[in-house]
Homo-oligomer: A and B are copies of this chain.
Amino acid sequence: MPSKAQQRYLLASAVAGVAAAIRIIRRRNIHVPPQPLPADFPVTPKDVVDAAKRVRPHVHRTPVLTCHGLDELAGRSLKFKCEVFQRTGSFKIRGATNAALQAPENAPLVTHSSGNHAQALALAARSTNREAHVVMPRTAPAVKRAAVAGYGAHITLCEPTNKARAEAAQKKTEEVQGYFVHPSNEPRVISGQGSVAVEFLEQCSDLDALVVPVGGGGLIGGIAVYAKWKRPSLKIIGAEPKNVDDAYRSKQKGELVGHDDRDSVADGLKTLLGSNTWPVVRDLVDEIITVEESEIKKATALIWGRMKLCIEPSAGVGVACVLSEAFRARYPADEYGTVGVILCGGNLDLAKASAKLFA
């Protein structure tokens, strides 16, 4: 028979053990089954799983890289999902391919895009033997226009406002009797982008949080639908430039708001959340953290210099977020020791970008 002191010790040990186990289960999601999501979402976890299978033969399974120097700066382990190595130079080929593979037979594909989705849709159309028509703002980098034309798509230029491009795309869709593939709000695009998370969670079993740049919300939408179902304890944090913070302000206000066509060095993130991406961001994304233009430039240059990866500033937004004071304060390293960051793309006008980043 153990003594009183021994009994107390054993009891305390048992309590501590159970508490530790609960912490591990909550954080690592061991044995916690996938959770049902609200039924009215435009995209279900099954849509994402199906999309991942559908696009697999057409996209790269991009590597996850780490960098000791970045880990030291962040004070924790960072895992970088390198969509910068994806076909067409960004994750956008995933959603575009998923949409193209399900479009009505022979319909030309139509879209508007500031660049990466344009290239992606152009290649997806070529791969599926369709015509593609792309409405681009006349301010889009020359390198992006050349890439779209290089894939054989027809380009229509418009004014660089969200309104102007939506109108021009609608007109073009009617004109060619095409299938319109919105760069972020189209459900098949959202589920296609979610395939990033299917791969990332297979590649890394120890993530405590995921940081995802937010523009139109297609990427974070698809990721959140899948990841919150597959691993409910995983935090999903959106990273947004303060200059174009419609997602942040929408979350604050509890309703979808726009912004005033302000500019950002992260030109891929200037688009707005839409009717399909907003409910997902509202209900499944834990938080949006905004970063200044100077932080974006610094973080982008850091990845060039330390990791030797030519990311575009939109990808730097996620890096800036994970290095920000706000992130450190709200997601302390002792609780969130391993954070995944999506390096979403690497398409840029190198002359202009490097002048901005290293001048």
A34 to B202, CA, bound (A): 41
Q: CB within 8 Å of B: which of A108-126?
A: none
Asked if A311 is at the interface of the complex by the 8 Å CB criterion, the answer is: yes
Interface string of A348-359 (1 = CB under 8 A from B): 001100110111
Q: Which residues of B contact A311 (CB under 8 A)?
A: 308
Number of this chain's copies in the complex: 2
Q: Please classify the interface of chain A as helix (H, G, I), strand (E, B), loop, or mixed, using the class held by over half of its residues.
A: helix
Partner of A350, one of B143, B309, B346, B358: B358
Q: Which of B85, B309, B351 meets A359, CB within 8 Å?
A: B351
Residues 321-359 of A, flagged 1 when their CB comes within 8 A of B and 0 if not, give: 000000000000000000000000010001100110111
If A63-B63, A310-B309, A310-B310 touch, does A304 touch B350 (CB 8 Å cutoff)?
yes
Minimum CB–CB distance from A68 to chain B (whole Å) comes to: 8
B-side contacts of A351, CB under 8 Å:
358-359
Q: What is the CA–CA distance of A351 and B304 in the complex, to the nearest angstrom?
A: 11
Highest count of chain B CB atoms <10 Å: which of A65, A84, A143, A346: A346
Q: Mark A296-332, 1 if CB is under 8 A from B, else 0.
A: 0000010011011111000000000000000000000
User: With A and B bound together, what is the CA distance between A320 and B29 in angstroms?
Assistant: 50
Would A308 and B309 be within 8 Å (CB), given that A350-B357, A358-B354 are in contact? yes
